[in-house]
Chain A
C-alpha cells in the first residue's frame, strides 16, 4: 500500500501542526534514509514514530500502517 502522508487539517493549533510535521519528517527519514542511520539513531526514531503515530491516530488523521519501516 503506498505511503499516505498525513495532511494537517484546518482546526489544528500550531503545536498540533508541529507534531504532524515532525511525524511526517520522521517517517520520510526512516523510509528514505533509514539505512543511513546508526542503530541508535534508527531504533530511537522508530520508537518516536510509533509514539507519534498515536497522536496522528488520536487526531483521526488516517496515518495508515508503519510495518514497512519497522514500526
Chain B
C-alpha cells in the first residue's frame, strides 16, 4: 500500500454525517458503560434522565450534566485515592499518572489498563503520522518521564510506528542537544519553550541546528505551538517544521493535532471524542468561529469515562475545509487560545495560584507572598514565590527550602524558586487578592495567550 498521509484514512476522511452517526453510537455505548460501572456517573445520569436509548442525536448530549475538575478532585478527596470514578478494578491497571490539582496538594490521579494505554499511544499516532513522521525517523524526546503523562503516549506511538526512539529523560540541555546531533535525530518532541531553550544551548555550543538533521518538531504542553510568531522563531532556529498538539491528563493523551499542511490550527480527533464549544458563562453552545470553552467527551479511556468534562480551555472551532489536507475533522483555529480560569502553564505543568497559596499558607512564618512568573534568558518560563518572613528568629533558609520542595512535589517536579523579600514590600489586599504577577514575555509578541 503506498504511503498514506493518514494514520486511519477511514476515520480522518469520514463524511460529516457518518462521523456524527458514529459519535452518537459511541455515546450510547459510553453512557451504558458509565451507568453500569461508575457510581459517580450513574447517579448523575439518572438524575438527568439520561439512558443509552434516550441518546438519539448529538443534541441529546446536552442533557448530560457537565463534569468539572473540582467535582473530580472532590470525589478523590472523599474517596481516596481515585474517587468513585473508576470503571474497572484497580488490579486491571498497568499505568498510574497524575496532574497537579487546582487546590493544595491533591492531584488528579488516573489509571490505565493495557488496552487503554495502547489507545493513548494510538491517539498520538494520528498526530505524528499526520505531521509526516514515518518509520525511518529517529525521534528524540526532551521529556522527563515521570508521573506527568506528557509525552509518554507519544513515546509509545513512535515505537508503534516503528521509529527509532531516543528517550531524553534526566539529561542536561547540553547533553540533549549533543545527543540530537550525534544520533542524527530527525524529529524532536518538546514544549515550545524548551525547543527555544535547546536552540539557544546549541548556539552556545557552536552547533548550527538550522542546517542539521532535524526536520520536524512536535510541540505540546503550551499554547505557543500555535502562536505564529513563536512557531516561526522555533522553525527558523531549528530549520525544521513545527507541529502543535494538545492533550490533557484527564484524557491521557492528545485530542488535537496539527497536520503537515499546517492550517494554523489543530484537527480534532473526532472519531474518538466529541468536542463541544460553549459559552463559559451560560453553558450554551457557540458557533463556528466564536471563542468558547472546550467541553470534551472521550470514547477512548474506558477505565475513567469522561463525559462532558469542562476543560476551561478557550478555543475557536472552524470547519475542516479550512485545511486542504482532505481530513473531515474540524479544527481549533490557533490551537488552545487561552484559559477561562486562572491556571498557568509553566514549562508544560499546570499551576493554579490557589494550589500554591494552600501550600505557602501552611507556613505560618510567611506573612505575605506573591507568585512571580517571568521569562529567563529571553525564552525560558520560570516561576518563583516571593515571601515575607518578618520574624527575625525564624529559620528563613529552611522555610524557603521546604516551601520549594513541597511546591515542586505538588507540581510534578516543577522547579519553583522561593525567595525572601524585605518586609512590607509585597502588595496587600483588602478585597479580592491578586497574588500573581505574570511578567512572562510572549515570544514573538503575537498576542496575549497567557492572560492573568
What B residues does A62 contact at CB under 8 A?
25, 29
Inter-subunit contact B10/A50 (CB<8 Å): no
Q: A71 and B115: CB pair below 8 A?
A: yes
- Give the shortest distance, in Å, between A35 (CB) and chain B (any CB): 16
Q: Bound complex: CA of A57 vs CA of B119, how far in Å?
A: 9
Nearest-CB residue, chain B, relative to A49: B115
A40 in contact (CB, < 8 A): no
Q: Which of B29, B92, B122, B302 is in CB contact (< 8 Å) with A54?
A: B122
Whether A54 contacts B118 by the Cβ 8 Å rule is yes
Within 8 A of B (CB), among A1-32: 1
Interface centre among A1, A57, A70 (most CB of B within 10 A): A57
Q: Do B302 and A65 have beta carbons less than 8 Å apart?
A: yes
A39 at the interface (CB under 8 A from B): no
B427 at the interface (CB under 8 A from A): no
Q: Whole-angstrom distance between the alpha carbons of A44 and B25 in the complex?
A: 31
User: Which range holds the interface residue count of chain A?
Assistant: 10 to 19
Is B271's CB under 8 angstroms from A50's CB? no
CB-CB nearest in chain A for B116: A50
**How would you classify the secondary structure of chain A's contact residues: helix, strand, loop or mixed?**
helix
Write out the residue numbers on chain B whose beta carbons fall within 8 Å of the beta carbon of A53.
Answer: 115, 118-119
Q: B79-103 vs A: 1/0 string, CB under 8 Å?
A: 0000000011100100000000000
Shortest Cβ gap from B8 to chain A (Å): 5
Closest A-chain residue to B113, C-beta based?
A67
Contacts of B87 in A (CB 8 A): 65, 67
In the complex, A71 Cα to B262 Cα: how many Å? Answer: 36
What are the residues of chain B within 8 A of A51 when measuring CB–CB? 118
Q: Which of B25, B33, B117, B271 contacts A65 (CB 8 A)?
A: B33
Contact B119 A67 (CB under 8 A): no
* Contact of B36 with A by CB under 8 A: yes
Residue of B nearest to A53 (CB): B115
B349-392, CB under 8 A of A: which get 1 and which 0?
00000000000000000000000000000000000000000000
Q: A1-B36, A58-B10 are in contact. Are A67 and B302 (CB under 8 A)?
A: yes
Docked Cα-Cα span, A65 to B302, in Å, equals 7
Does residue A37 face the partner (Cβ distance < 8 Å to B)? no
CB distance from B360 to the nearest CB of A (A): 41
* B22 within 8 A of partner (CB): yes
- Shortest Cβ gap from B55 to chain A (Å): 15
Q: Chain A's nearest CB lies how many Å from the CB of B68?
A: 25
Closest residue of chain B to A15, judged by CB? Answer: B1
Cβ proximity bits A42-71 to B, threshold 8 Å, 1 near / 0 not = 000011011101100111101001110011
Whether B22 lies near A60 (C-beta < 8 A) is yes
Q: Is B151 part of the contact surface with A, judged by Cβ < 8 Å?
A: no
Is B215 an interface residue when CB atoms closer than 8 A count as contact?
Answer: no
CB of B119 within 8 A of CB of A66, answer: no
Contacts of B89 in A (CB 8 A): 67
CB distance from A23 to the nearest CB of B (A): 12
Contacts A54-B119, A59-B10 given; indicate if A66 touches B22 (C-beta within 8 A). no
> Looking across the interface, which residue of chain B has its beta carbon closest to that of A70?
B92
Query: Is B22's CB under 8 angstroms from A50's CB?
Result: no
Q: How far is the CB of A11 from chain B (nearest CB, A)?
A: 10
CB distance from B127 to the nearest CB of A (A): 15
Chain A residues within 8 Å of B302, by CB: 65, 67
B11 at the interface (CB under 8 A from A): yes
Apart from A58-B10, A60-B271, A71-B114, what 17 extra A-B contacts exist at CB < 8 Å? A46-B114, A49-B115, A50-B117, A53-B115, A53-B119, A58-B8, A58-B122, A59-B10, A62-B25, A65-B33, A65-B115, A65-B302, A66-B115, A67-B92, A67-B113, A67-B303, A70-B114
Report which B residues bind A (CB closer than 8 A): 8, 10-11, 22, 25, 29, 33, 36, 87-89, 92, 113-115, 117-119, 122, 271, 302-303
Residues of A in contact with B (beta carbons under 8 Å apart):
1, 46-47, 49-51, 53-54, 57-60, 62, 65-67, 70-71
Can you report 14 residue pairs joining A to B where beta carbons are below 8 Å apart?
A1-B36, A50-B115, A51-B118, A53-B115, A54-B118, A57-B119, A58-B122, A62-B25, A65-B88, A65-B115, A66-B115, A67-B88, A67-B113, A67-B302
The 4 closest A-B pairs by CB, nearest first: A67-B88, A50-B114, A50-B115, A67-B92
